[in-house]
Chain A
């Protein structure tokens, strides 16, 4: 079936370096993608989103890149901080009549080393 997945399950990053988290998706009909951050013992929190008619979107210290040709999504975190340690999920929105139904990938754990 069609799914959203991630290349790297764990990413260790030195504090201050940039982080890049990758995600592959297979449903070409998806038109909306979101990155969520999940800290230990908490629910996922929205980070940034992007529509399929865009290639890049920037937020505060984060940038999402979308390559529709190869169905690839990435999240870049600039100047990674200890508070960025968490599991990051990409999610895609399936086109359907009502509701924002998201399909989540398996997650990448980011560990920030001091």
Chain B
């Protein structure tokens, strides 16, 4: 399994441009997430999805959109890039609690990250 794959790894955008960060997982996980990580900070949840066709806002959703047409893919869209969106973006996936047979199943599997700079 490749796990969680994110593309691109690096991108520079001009203010006002749009782009989509791609995320794919091959572990048949129902749950998927997008986090952003600012320098020296922890991760903040942008959007999440509990299954195909279902998405919901996290802590910092403004300026972003997501879609979940398949179990495998969870793209993150930036419509009008702003300098405040300069960050490292991480996609993650997980099983719903209780499906793996273990007592604690909250483990998130993260991608390698996508570093976005908006100038």
**Segment 37-78 of A: residues with Cβ below 8 Å from B:** 41-46, 49-51
Chain A positions within 8 Å of B108 at CB level: 44, 46, 100, 102
> Are the CB atoms of B112 and A49 closer together than 8 Å?
no
Q: Is B2 an interface residue (CB 8 A)?
A: no
How many residues on chain A are close to B (CB under 8 Å)?
Answer: 24
Residues of B participating in the A interface, judged by any CB pair closer than 8 Å: 4, 31, 33, 35, 40-45, 48, 50, 56, 58-59, 90, 92, 94, 96-97, 103-113
> Are the CB atoms of B106 and A102 closer together than 8 Å?
yes
A44-B90 contact in complex given A51-B103, A101-B48, C-beta closer than 8 Å = yes
**Segment 1-41 of A: residues with Cβ below 8 Å from B:** 4, 32, 34, 41
> Are the CB atoms of B104 and A104 closer together than 8 Å?
no
User: Which secondary structure dominates chain A's binding surface?
Assistant: strand
Which of A43, A45, A98, A104 is the most central at the interface, judged by chain B CB atoms within 10 Å of its CB? A43
> Are the CB atoms of A107 and B42 closer together than 8 Å?
yes
B6 to chain A, nearest CB (A): 8
Residues of A participating in the B interface, judged by any CB pair closer than 8 Å: 4, 32, 34, 41-46, 49-51, 89, 93, 98-107
Chain B positions within 8 Å of A44 at CB level: 43, 90, 108, 110
> Are the CB atoms of B43 and A34 closer together than 8 Å?
no
> Are the CB atoms of B42 and A34 closer together than 8 Å?
no
Chain A positions within 8 Å of B103 at CB level: 51
> Are the CB atoms of B104 and A89 closer together than 8 Å?
no
Which of B59, B106, B111 is the most central at the interface, judged by chain A CB atoms within 10 Å of its CB? B106
